[in-house]
Amino acid sequence: MTDTEYSHVNLLEVEDQAKNLGIDPAEFNIRFARVALGCEHCGVSYLRFSPNRKAHGHRHKRQEEIYVLVHGSATMKVGDDVIELEPWSAVRVPPQVMRGIKSGPPIDQNSKTLPSFAPVAADAHSAPSHPHTVAPSHHERQHLHDAPPAMAIALIVLAIGSFAAGWIGIPHALGGRNELGSWLEPAFSAPAGAGEGAAAEAAAVAEGAAAEGEHTALELTLMGVSLTIALAGIAFAWFVWIRRRRVADNMAREFPGLHRLLLNKYYVDELYEATVVQPIKAASTEGLWRWFDVKVIDGAVNGSASIVEGGAAMLRRLQSGSVRAYAGSLFVGVVVILGYYLWR
């Protein structure tokens, strides 16, 4: 790297990450420029909110942030303090402190300009000697936040259950006993006859003793392999993302397709959206609502009302209120009845 090497990007041309973070792009605009700029010791982001929108509050363990409001108005809560921001207000937020942002109203009735922020992130635990140099940061760490209480409690319960479940089936190689397997064993074993019970039990004991040594060796081998893979993955992640952060940036630039695949989580959400959510939505909208609800249910109700209305319209013509018409109808009826009996 030479002394004159530099990088230049337009923040509005950096990819919007709102959709990748599960946020409505129509309400929020989030662009992380650290990778695009090739930063090694700092990070800068562009955040743009719709009026009167509130972003999720979050905190960082080590990361220090500076928020600069470049347009519009906003309210920022830092810890227990609420700060009213105006254009070009700058707020530094230290690590371990909760911060949240709520955008203000539009500048005027016809204005579509949205409040915009430019957080600059730094790692407080790697304080540099130069005042303008800060430690590495990236967008994944930049906007991580604690889960809300309802989700956090559910995650804690699941974590306790996962931890406790691991003690149910401690491998024989470690001196444990598979309690769950022993409890379920009768359900997967064929019942033996009355005369075959003792012989079958003796054969099972002998076979189990012979296979115990092989099972112990296999368990130890699998545990060793899985532990080695896990530790190697942790070491590789620490080296790439903590020790040599530029390696990850170079890999993202050299393998954009793979980076995009991993960034979008193998497009599982998009696949689920296309194969499950949208078909159910289409069936619900076109089938259950517009056809069954509108044509069948509403048609039956509205059809009954139409029949009653039509019948009432016909009967209403007979109720004219004319005494002459009623007398004439009565005379015609008497003539018809007498004619019927005389004809017989």
Q: Which two tokens stand for residue 59?
A: 């905190």
94: helix, strand or coil: coil
Confidence (pTM): 0.36
Burial label, 67 (beta-carbon count in 10 A; 0-12, 13-18, 19+): buried
Task: Residue 27: name the closest of 55, 58, 59, 69 by CA.
Answer: 55
Task: Residue 30: name the closest of 48, 12, 3 by CA.
Answer: 48
CATH class of 11-142: mainly beta
What is the residue-level pLDDT of the chain in tens, covering all 344 positions? 455 678 888 888 888 888 777 777 888 888 888 888 887 777 788 888 888 888 778 888 777 888 888 888 888 899 889 999 888 888 988 888 888 888 888 654 333 333 444 444 444 333 333 333 333 344 444 445 566 788 889 889 988 888 877 777 777 777 777 777 777 777 776 665 544 555 555 555 556 555 666 777 888 888 899 999 999 999 998 888 888 878 887 888 888 888 888 888 899 988 999 999 999 999 998 888 888 888 888 888 888 888 888 888 887 777 777 778 788 888 888 888 988 888 87
Domain boundaries, the chain: 11-142, 147-189, 206-263, 270-343
List, in order, residues 6 or more apart from 45 with CB less than 8 Å away: 30, 31, 32, 33, 34, 117, 118, 119, 120, 121, 139, 142
| Dist. CA 36–CA 323, nearest whole Å | 95
Angle at 327 between CA 323 and CA 332, to 5 degrees: 150
| Dist. CA 32–CA 119, nearest whole Å | 10
Say if CB 149 and CB 39 are below 8 A apart.
no
